[in-house]
């Protein structure tokens, strides 16, 4: 650093590398300092452009509260579902389900899981559910939905997955009975499947082809893993005959119902 003395005895520190060659003590140098307004405008434009980008990316979009929906209801369970979570630029910390103002627990894998089933509820009882989503951008609650579980006389919550039902006439009779009960059916296990209905674990044609590979069907095995009741079609016919939900103990696979039900 070179120390320069101005005409009014002002001391100015100046980088010696910027001095002209050959300067020595006593040399007189001329230094010109001017304002670069063009560079100022360029730098200001770049700065405010960056501010606009930050505002657009982080200031105008915010996380949205979860949208909770009722999927199905039975006498003792409720299946809930929700839309894909809208997080904007925030990160998800947790997603939890609440019942009657009390936290039940976190939703596993919340970025890919959009439904849950709550069991062990009381008959014909009203419950209130909502989701709480915690993010780095704040906490967001879904709207509360109120649900009343079914009474024993309400059979509209039956959601059956059909397995192997023989003969074919019995399968059609079972589907007709289920329609009269107001229930639904499918051939795949779903989160709101209430019963797996079949007459045997696998189709007899499979057994005839190769006895060593006569394993229960995939959906039958899933029903076992998920503890879904596996019943005979006679259970549906019994519910239709009684116009209400009947005990399933007499209609498990291998059981012999004491009463014959016909459509």
Distances in Å between the alpha carbon of 249 and those of 159, 174, 246?
18, 18, 9
Is 260 domain-assigned?
Answer: no
164 and 237 in a single domain? The answer is: yes
CA 127/CA 50 separation, integer angstroms: 49
Task: Check whether residue 210 and residue 137 sit in a common domain.
Answer: no
**Can you give the residue range of the structural domain that contains 213?**
159-242
Q: What is the domain-level CATH number for residue 214?
A: 3.40.50.10190
- Is residue 60, in this structure, part of any structural domain at all? no
What are the φ/ψ torsions at residue 95 (nearest 5 degrees)? -135, 125
Q: What order of strands is seen across the sheet that includes strand 159-162?
A: 184-186, 159-162, 195-197, 230-231
Q: Return the sign of the alpha-carbon dihedral for residues 22, 24, 26, 28.
A: positive
Q: Do the beta carbons of residue 159 and residue 178 sit within 8 Å?
A: no
pLDDT value, residue 212 = 44
Residue 236, in any domain of the structure: yes
* 2 lies in some domain: no
Residue 261: per-residue pLDDT? 54
Residue 118 forms beta bridges with which residues? 78
User: What's the pLDDT score for residue 59?
Assistant: 74
CB 190 within 8 A of CB 225: no
Distance, in Å, from the CA atom of 153 to the CA atom of 150, rounded to the nearest integer, reads 8
Chain CA centroid to CA 182, Å: 28
pLDDT in tens, 12-69: 787 888 788 888 888 888 888 788 999 999 999 999 999 998 888 777 788 999 999 9
pLDDT at 214: 57
> What is the rounded CA–CA span in Å between residue 162 and residue 174?
9
Residue 83 within a domain? yes
Q: Provide the 8-state DSSP code for 55.
A: I
Read off the CATH number of the domain in which 115 is found: 2.60.40.10
Q: Examine residue 73 and state whether it is found in any structural domain, yes or no.
A: yes
Instruction: Please identify, among 124, 148, 172, the residue that sits at the C-terminal boundary of a domain.
Output: 148
On whether both 102 and 142 belong to a single domain, the answer is yes
pLDDT tens for each residue of the chain, 263 residues long: 677 777 776 787 878 887 888 888 888 888 887 889 999 999 999 999 999 988 887 777 889 999 999 999 999 999 999 999 999 889 999 999 999 999 999 999 999 999 999 999 999 999 999 999 999 999 999 999 999 999 999 999 999 999 999 999 999 999 999 999 999 999 999 999 999 999 988 766 655 555 545 568 899 999 999 999 999 999 999 999 999 999 999 999 877 765 555 54
Residues with Cβ < 8 Å from 202, sequence gap 6 or more?
164, 214, 215, 216, 217, 220
Contact 159, 190 (CB under 8 A): yes
| pTM of the model as a whole | 0.72
Q: Under a CB-based contact definition with an 8 Å cutoff, are residues 135 and 153 in contact?
A: no
User: H helices of the chain, where?
Assistant: 37-54, 168-181, 204-209, 218-225, 234-242
Give the Å distances, CA to CA, from 6 to 10, 13, 15, 17: 5, 11, 15, 19
| Tally of domains in the chain | 2
């Amino acid at each position: 650093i070179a120390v320069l003395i101005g005409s009014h005895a002002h001391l100015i520190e100046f980088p010696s590398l910027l001095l002209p060659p050959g300067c020595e003590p006593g040399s007189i140098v001329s230094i010109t300092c001017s304002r670069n307004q063009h560079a100022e405008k360029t730098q200001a434009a770049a700065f405010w452009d960056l501010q606009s980008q930050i505002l657009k990316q982080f200031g105008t979009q915010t996380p949205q509260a979860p949208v909770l929906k009722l999927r199905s209801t039975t006498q003792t369970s409720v299946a809930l579902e929700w839309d894909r979570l809208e997080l904007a630029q925030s990160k998800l910390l947790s997603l939890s389900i609440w019942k009657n103002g009390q936290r039940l627990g976190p939703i596993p894998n919340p970025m890919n899981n959009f439904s849950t089933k709550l069991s062990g509820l009381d008959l014909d009882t009203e419950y209130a559910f909502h989701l709480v989503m915690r993010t780095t951008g704040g906490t967001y609650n879904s709207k509360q939905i109120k649900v009343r579980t079914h009474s024993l006389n309400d059979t509209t919550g039956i959601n059956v997955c059909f397995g192997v039902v023989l003969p074919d006439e019995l399968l059609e009779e079972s589907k007709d009975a289920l329609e009269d009960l107001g229930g639904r059916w499918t051939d795949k296990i779903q989160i709101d499947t209430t019963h797996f209905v079949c007459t045997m674990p696998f189709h007899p044609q499979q057994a005839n082809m190769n006895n060593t590979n006569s394993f229960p069907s995939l959906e039958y095995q899933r029903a076992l893993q998920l503890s879904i009741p596996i019943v005979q079609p006679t259970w549906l016919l019994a519910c239709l005959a009684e116009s209400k939900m009947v005990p399933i103990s007499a209609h498990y696979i291998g059981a012999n119902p004491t009463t014959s039900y016909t459509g």
